[in-house]
Structures are given as C-alpha cells and as structure tokens.
Amino acid sequence: MQDRLMPDAADVSPPISRDIWELKYRLKDAGGAPVDSSLDDTFWRVARAAAAVEKGGKRGREQWAKRFHDGMADLGFLPAGRILAGAGTGRAVTLFNCFVLGKIEDDLSAIFDGVKDAALTMQQGGGIGHDFSTLRPKGAPVASIGADASGPVSFMEVWDAMCRTIMSAGARRGAMMATLHCDHPDIEAFIGAKADPAKLRNFNLSVLVTDAFLEAVRGDRAWDLKFGGKVYRTLPARALWERIMRATYDFAEPGVVFIDRVNARNNLNYCEEIHATNPCGEQPLPPFGACLLGSINLARLIEKPFTGDAHLDVGKLAERVKVAVRFLDNVIDVSNYPLPAQREEAFAKRRIGLGVTGLADALIFCGVRYGTDEAAKLAGTWMAAIQNAAYAASSELAEEKGAFPLFDAERFLASPNVALLDKEVRAAIRRHGIRNGCLTSIAPTGTISLLAGNVSSGVEPVFDYRYSRRLLSRDGSAREETVEDYAHAAFRRQFGPTAALPDAFVRAADLTPAEHLAMQAALQPWVDSAISKTINCPEDISFEDFKDIYLEAHARGLKGCTTYRPNPVTGAVLQSAPAA
Ligand code: ADP
C-alpha cells in the first residue's frame, strides 16, 4: 500500500480522498485483498478499460490509455463513481450512473416486470428513475377481477421495498426518482407521500409540471385531473400549486420538473419523449435511457489562484474536454447493460453527460464571490467554453468513428442547445455529424468531489469551510469524518491559519435563494440536460417568498427546481464542524 496516495497531487490528499478511494474505488479481489496499488493504479485500470475499443493495435490503445490516464491523474477530469469503481474489473456491473426505466404498462404482470427491470438495474449499481403516470388512479375499476386499483403511490411502495432489499448488501444507499404528471388523479397523494418520515425513503419525488398547468395557475383557472380520457376531478390550479409548494416547504418534497421545456429543449426530441429523470434530476431521460457522467474539475484548471491574474486556463480546458468526451464515448462500448433495451437505447444515441465540479472553489481562486453578477457571468463563460469544446470534440469523433445512428443533421442543428453553439462548431457538425446525441449535464458529484480533495461539488457553493460527513462502510457501519473545503485548505496553506478570508469566500447558507438561482440560470443555456442543484433556503423564509423561487426558476429558463429548507422531517443533511 502506497503512502503517497496521489503522486501528482500530494498537496491535496487529505484523509477523505484516501478513505473514499479505499472505500469506493480501489479494486479488491473476492477475498478483500487490494488489487489496485495506488489511486494512480486505479486511473490506469480505468484508462486501459476505456482505451480497449481504440484501433491501432496494442500500441494505439496504450497511447490512448496514457492520454486518458493523464486527463485523470491530476484530478482535472473525474469520471463518475460507477466508472472508477467498475471499469476494467471484469465484474458484471454497469458503468452508467443514471437510468430511466421503460413505460410501466397498466396491468399487474407488466408492473411486476417493471419491478424486475428496476431490480436488475439497481443490482448493477445504477440509480433509476420511473414515471408512474401510466398507472390508473386509486379506486379506478380493475374489470378483470371486479376490484378497485390501489394507485401509483401504493405501487411505489413495492419499488421502495425492492430497493431497500437490493441495496442492503452494499455501502451505497439506493437512489430512485418517481415522477407523476400534474394532471394525474392521484397527484395529491403523490405530493403528500413523503410527509411520513418512514415512507418511500429510497425515492425522490418530482411532479411533471406542464406549461398548460402553469398557465392555469397564472390565470387562476380550473384544472382537470384525468386518466385515460376520463376527468376524475376538477380543482383550482392554484390550489394544486399551493399544495406542491406547501409540501416542498414543509418537508423538501416533491421537486418539480418543467417537463414541456425539457422536451422542447432536448436535442433528441425528434426521436424520443421524456417523462422522467434520474434520481438527482440532472438527467431527464427517455424510457430505457441511460447516461454516463463525468466532470471537469474547474478548481484544478485555475492558474495563479488568489492573485489579481487568476484565470481559467482555457486551452487546458478544451484539451481536457476533448479527452473526456472520447473517454466517455468509449465507455458506452465497454460498459455492461442490465437490460438489452438499455444497450440498444445507449448505442442508438450515445448520450454522455459531461459536467463540472469545483465551480465554487474555482470562483474563490479567481477572487469572485459566488452568487454575484460577475460570478454568474464568469461561470456562464466557462460552461459555454465547455459546451463548445464538447460538441467540437464529438464532431471530430464522428468524422473518425461515425455519427450516432439516429443523427439527423437538419433536426439536430435546429434544436435550441445546438443553435447557441459557435458558428465553426455548427459547421463542423453539419459536415461530419456528431458522435453523441446529448453531451453535457451537471451531476451532484457527491462522492468524486471528495476524492478530489473535497472540491465544492458540482455547481454548488461551498457548503462550509469545515464540516463533518458520514461515511458508510461496506459492512454498513457509518462513521463521521471532518472535511475541509479545497479552496479554504489551499488558502490556509498559502497565507497561514489566521489570515482573514477574502470576500470571495462565501458559504451556501450565506447566499440568498435568488443568488443560488442566478448561478443555475447562468449555466443552464450551456447544458444539454439539466443541472443537479439545491436552492438552500433559510428556515425562516416566508411561504410567499419560497413560492416565488419556483416561478422565478421557470421564468429564468430552468428545467426544474429543487429547494431545501431545514425541516423536522428530513433534518439537516450535513453538519458544520467547529472551525479548527
Ligand atoms: P458520483 O460522485 O459517485 O460520481 P453523483 O453524486 O454525481 O455520483 O451522482 C450522479 C448520479 O448517480 C445521480 O444523479 C444518480 O442518478 C446516481 N446515484 C447517486 N447516488 C446513488 C446511489 N446511492 N445509488 C444509485 N445511484 C446513485
């Protein structure tokens, strides 16, 4: 076992990095003996696995393996956790984080086929999303047995129990998303389903909010709840909206997905329709859709941090993005798929989700305070650079390896995300096509950001400069570990323990909901899929102000909104630690 966990990054190897590597990513044999000798060795295993599909014989593959390895070695590109844990291990696990399962047909046998699909997907480590809107409402007749249906929420409990059972064996908790359409007759039961702290703990819930519903809310009109062409009940749209908002205010569930916008802005809307997202919301996916995630660690790409000349190295960024896109595209070919339908879907569209992590730390390094106009603008520029570089790289790949099978130049180029790209990038796509149907997405990066020395995760602000985290071991036991924010640790190393923190240092709880929202809104135009982001709200925010966040999120072009207000049902998720 190496003492130096990260030869290239010895300055950022706090205990948490080592623990995460040891616990989550280090390959061990069946008897528990280590196979990977160091984190670097882990990166080589993963790099070689991804390079296995490259042409050019052994030499060609080794050259690509080296480029993939080098992209990861300084923690500048971080493949998602599933890839680090599973690639090159020979195990029957999928390398995809995110799945949405197929349409659930409204009959008992098909419902339990759906449970089976979900179980098989989860067994391999995927987080899953499901739309339950296709199930008939509670009390609707089931003619064949002369009884009444029990409704989608009761079937969700079957999935919940299944998830609990499948996941009880490992160090991860299960993660599932359930969506329900805002006109489903059981929508109110769905909205209230998690008020009971014992219920549906393996699910996140999201209401699929349509434009028609929001118009009815704005116009204070009546809203029909219907199923199979029959109107079950009519209620004021505003009453339903209030109910969603009240539940979210009281116990942080459900979230909302602006589903019409999701579909309207989807690059692939000419060949698919989306009704659900993965568990953390960054990936709206069609039935049997899956997405591979990876993140560019912005905190690692800042030159001259804490000086007046601090800046993101744009050249390095483009190079990193290029390697990351090729890497993720290869992983589509080498991954295992729990279900044949998932493989077919992935191969037809070659969806990847490249995102960022360490955004807040990168801003701190540049002396820019998260949440300000300057920060929103700068973050938008960075994301625009990533978006353009990713599409350029994928178009180059298409020239070399072929476009994704369902590529249709006219319709693809007409989609809103693609319309925003630089002219040269669009021209390249017109000429060569594109390898990947959707390219960018911003994940929570909950675990890999810890591996990278606790950079601020995804696009979230720094939670706190020091806080304690609960680490789950493989045997299911938990322990607390204190972690320090990456930029904070760097500042302390450079300027000493007593130097006053510059203004750019700001924590999640110091920000207003509007500042949180402004950051998410600045990035969304440059992200194909969606963004996993929680708008933190103070406990004493008024209900009226709280409601406005959601309408503002819609007005600002977001695809969904998730807030968190401390509440008795969920409690606090992370605990600040006393400053050292
Ligand atoms: P990581 O840091 O391990 O790469 P993220 O925190 O970025 O993962 O999560 C990315 C996605 O992975 C989530 O949106 C979700 O779909 C899936 N996921 C997260 N946690 C779990 C879990 N405990 N079980 C299954 N899937 C998960």
Nearest to 465, CA basis, from 574, 308, 309, 332: 574
Q: Where are the alpha helices (DSSP H) in 496-577?
A: 513-523, 543-555
Q: Where are the alpha helices (DSSP H) in 229-312?
A: 237-251, 259-264
Q: Are strands 535-536 and 563-564 parallel, antiparallel or unpaired?
A: parallel
Half-sphere exposure of 63 (CA within 13 A, CB side): 6
CA–CA gap between residue 276 and residue 104 (Å, rounded): 12
Say what the pLDDT of residue 475 is: 72
Q: What is the pLDDT of residues 243-279, one digit of tens each?
A: 999 999 999 999 999 999 999 999 999 999 999 999 9
Q: Are strands 311-312 and 77-79 parallel, antiparallel or unpaired?
A: unpaired
Say which amino acid occupies 221: R
Nearest to 421, CA basis, from 385, 456, 446: 385
Q: Which atom of ligand 1 is nearest to the CA of 122?
A: 25
β-bridge partners, 562? none
Nearest to 378, CA basis, from 367, 400, 389, 363: 363
Q: How far is the CA of 401 from the centre of ligand 1 (A)?
A: 29
DSSP state of 295: E
Say what the pLDDT of residue 571 is: 66
Q: How far is the CA of 532 from the centre of ligand 1 (A)?
A: 11
- Enumerate residues lining ligand 1, CB below 6 A: 80-81, 97-98, 127, 172-175, 278-280, 282, 293, 443-448
Nearest to 172, CA basis, from 205, 202, 199: 202
Q: Whose CA is nearest to atom 11 of ligand 1?
A: 97
Say what the pLDDT of residue 254 is: 96
Q: Which atom of ligand 1 is nearest to the CA of 125?
A: 25
Say what the pLDDT of residue 576 is: 58
Q: Whose CA is nearest to atom 14 of ligand 1?
A: 280
- The band of 166, judged by pLDDT with boundaries at 50, 70 and 90, is confident
Q: How far is the CA of 97 from the centre of ligand 1 (A)?
A: 6
CB distance 298 to 356 below 8 Å? yes
CA–CA gap between residue 475 and residue 238 (Å, rounded): 48
Q: Which atom of ligand 1 is nearest to the CA of 278?
A: 16
Q: Whose CA is nearest to atom 21 of ligand 1?
A: 175
Long-range contacts of 5-10 (CB under 8 A, 24+ apart): 5/38, 5/39, 6/39, 6/40, 6/75, 7/38, 7/40, 8/40, 8/73, 8/74, 9/74, 9/75, 9/453
Q: What is the pLDDT of residues 412-452, one digit of tens each?
A: 999 999 999 999 999 999 999 999 999 999 999 999 999 99
Residue 192 CB contacts under 8 Å (≥ 6 apart), including other chains:
243, 247
**Residue owning tokens 């998830």:** 163
| Helix/strand number for the chain, H first, E second | 21, 22
Q: What is the pLDDT of residues 443-486, one digit of tens each?
A: 999 999 999 999 999 999 999 999 998 887 777 788 888 999 99
Q: How far is the CA of 127 from the centre of ligand 1 (A)?
A: 6
CA–CA gap between residue 287 and residue 186 (Å, rounded): 22
> What percentage of the chain exceeds 90 in pLDDT?
88
Sign of torsion, CA 93 98 103 104? positive
Q: How far is the CA of 279 from the centre of ligand 1 (A)?
A: 8
Say what the pLDDT of residue 403 is: 98
CA–CA gap between residue 453 and residue 15 (Å, rounded): 9
For range 494-515, the mean pLDDT = 96
Q: Which atom of ligand 1 is nearest to the CA of 177?
A: 16
What is this model's ipTM?
Answer: 0.91
Q: Whose CA is nearest to atom 12 of ligand 1?
A: 97
For range 331-353, the mean pLDDT = 97
pLDDT above 70 (res 501): yes
Sign of torsion, CA 458 460 465 468? negative
Say what the pLDDT of residue 171 is: 55
pLDDT above 90 (res 336): yes
Average pLDDT of every residue of the chain: 93
Say what the pLDDT of residue 3 is: 33
Q: Which atom of ligand 1 is nearest to the CA of 24?
A: 3
Measured torsion, CA atoms of residues 49, 398, 354, 163, in degrees rounded to the nearest 10: -60
For range 112-128, the mean pLDDT = 92
Say what the pLDDT of residue 124 is: 87
Helix (H) or strand (E) holding 377: helix 373-401
Q: Are strands 284-285 and 127-131 parallel, antiparallel or unpaired?
A: unpaired
Q: Are strands 141-142 and 127-131 parallel, antiparallel or unpaired?
A: unpaired
Say what the pLDDT of residue 477 is: 80
Q: What is the pLDDT of residues 360-373, one digit of tens each?
A: 999 999 999 999 99
Q: Where are the alpha helices (DSSP H) in 219-339?
A: 237-251, 259-264, 314-334
How far is residue 399 CA from its own chain's centroid?
A: 29
Which residue among 42, 101, 280, 529 is best mutated to probe the pocket of ligand 1, counting the most ligand atoms within 8 A of its Cβ?
Answer: 280
CB distance 207 to 257 below 8 Å? yes
Q: How far is the CA of 519 from the centre of ligand 1 (A)?
A: 22
- The band of 170, judged by pLDDT with boundaries at 50, 70 and 90, is low
Read off the pTM.
Answer: 0.95
pLDDT above 60 (res 547): yes
CA–CA gap between residue 230 and residue 114 (Å, rounded): 25
CB distance 268 to 275 below 8 Å? no
Write the CA distances from 131 to 180, 181, 182, 262, integer angstroms: 6, 8, 12, 15
Active site residues: 278, 280, 282
pLDDT above 60 (res 409): yes
Say what the pLDDT of residue 575 is: 52
CB distance 433 to 403 below 8 Å? yes
DSSP state of 511: S
Q: How far is the CA of 56 from the centre of ligand 1 (A)?
A: 34
Residue 319 CB contacts under 8 Å (≥ 6 apart), including other chains:
none
Which residue among 21, 23, 97, 328 is best mutated to probe the pocket of ligand 1, counting the most ligand atoms within 8 A of its Cβ?
Answer: 97
For range 232-240, the mean pLDDT = 98
Say what the pLDDT of residue 147 is: 85
Nearest to 338, CA basis, from 116, 40, 38, 6: 116
Q: What is the pLDDT of residues 107-117, one digit of tens each?
A: 999 999 999 99
For range 128-154, the mean pLDDT = 93
Q: Which atom of ligand 1 is nearest to the CA of 280?
A: 14
- 292: phi > 0 → left, psi -120 to 50 → alpha, else beta; which? beta
Q: How far is the CA of 278 from the centre of ligand 1 (A)?
A: 9
Say what the pLDDT of residue 333 is: 97
Q: Which atom of ligand 1 is nearest to the CA of 532?
A: 14
Written as one string, the DSSP assignment of 59-111 is HHHHHHHHHHHHHHHTSSEEE-HHHHHHTTS--S--S-SEEE-----SSHHHH
pLDDT above 70 (res 49): yes
Q: How far is the CA of 443 from the centre of ligand 1 (A)?
A: 8
